Amino acid sequence: MCSLDEIETALRGEELQLTIIRDIGRYTVALFAGFDSKEGSKLKLAGTGTLLTIGGSHYILTASHVWEEVLKCADKVGITLTEDIDHSFFMSVKAIVPCGLPKPASWNEWGPDITLLRVPSEYLGSIKAHKDFYSATATGKTKPAGSHIEARLLMGTPAVFGVFTENHAQVEISGLFSDVDAPCVAHGDFDYFDLTVDASSPGSPQSYGGVSGGGLWKVLIRCECPTGNIEWDQGLEGVAFHQSAIENGRRTIRCHGPKSIAAAIPST
């Protein structure tokens, strides 16, 4: 059986991190605005979303500004379905129903900035062939794991890692492991996590544009008996929506917490 020290060592390595990112990536999509033109669909990266199922309906959870400022103005919403395969998958904007928290008069570092986009039933078969929808009843929860270590993982699509033309985009859905000790704090009617990232470390993006709407996950990593294999459980805890300016080589990424997600979920 592996020890907790061995799990911590493995988590610092690229192999386990990438495996967990790929696993949680089955719920994660990059979001594109598609604009019809004579030359084909012109694309603009809007942000990131998490696929959720709630009471038999299916949604994309994202930041409100991703919808209101980019996707809503487009002809089509594009989402990524597979890795390493050139493909396109679009849904008509007119067929998508946004729901959740009302749009504030102006957005600031406190939002509220969270929404759910209901996925029309005619698109579900194609999405489910490649992706999974996370059950919202498990939001903010994880299964009991006995002896384990905890980590937080922010999923997103940093624009700086992508390659873009007017009609084609190559993007990377990536994951950022962060300090699990960051507290969930309340401000007014909503809750938040603040993740501090080192913007000066090699490979760290100078901007997290494109990560807006990405899911923040709590991951419980354990050693499975009797095989000794490293396994994990995950629970959706938050949604990224704001990044601070870089100060002393560091920046803060703010995420809404589970109370805010619950407030955005439709009652029916």
> ω before 144 within 30° of 0 (cis)?
no
Cβ neighbours of residue 76 closer than 8 Å, sequence gap 6 or more:
33, 34, 35, 36, 41, 90, 91, 92, 93
With a pLDDT cut of 70, the percent of the chain lying above it is: 91
Q: Do 49 and 28 form a contact (C-beta atoms < 8 A)? A: yes
Helices within 12-79 (DSSP H only): 14-24, 64-69
Strands 215-224 and 149-156: antiparallel
**What is the domain count for the chain?**
1
pLDDT tens for each residue of 47-80: 999 999 998 899 999 999 999 999 999 999 999 9
Tell me: the pLDDT tens digits for 196-250? Answer: 988 877 777 778 889 999 999 999 888 776 666 788 889 999 999 999 998 888 8
The CATH number of the domain holding residue 72 is: 2.40.10.120
Q: How many Cβ atoms from other residues are within 10 Å of residue 154's Cβ?
A: 25
Whole-angstrom distance, CA of residue 238 vs CA of residue 151: 14
**Cα 34 to Cα 42: distance, rounded to the nearest angstrom:** 6
First-residue to last-residue Cα distance in the chain: 46
Q: Look up the domain containing 188 and give its range.
A: 4-264
- Identify which of 219, 255, 207 has the alpha carbon closest to the alpha carbon of residue 25: 219
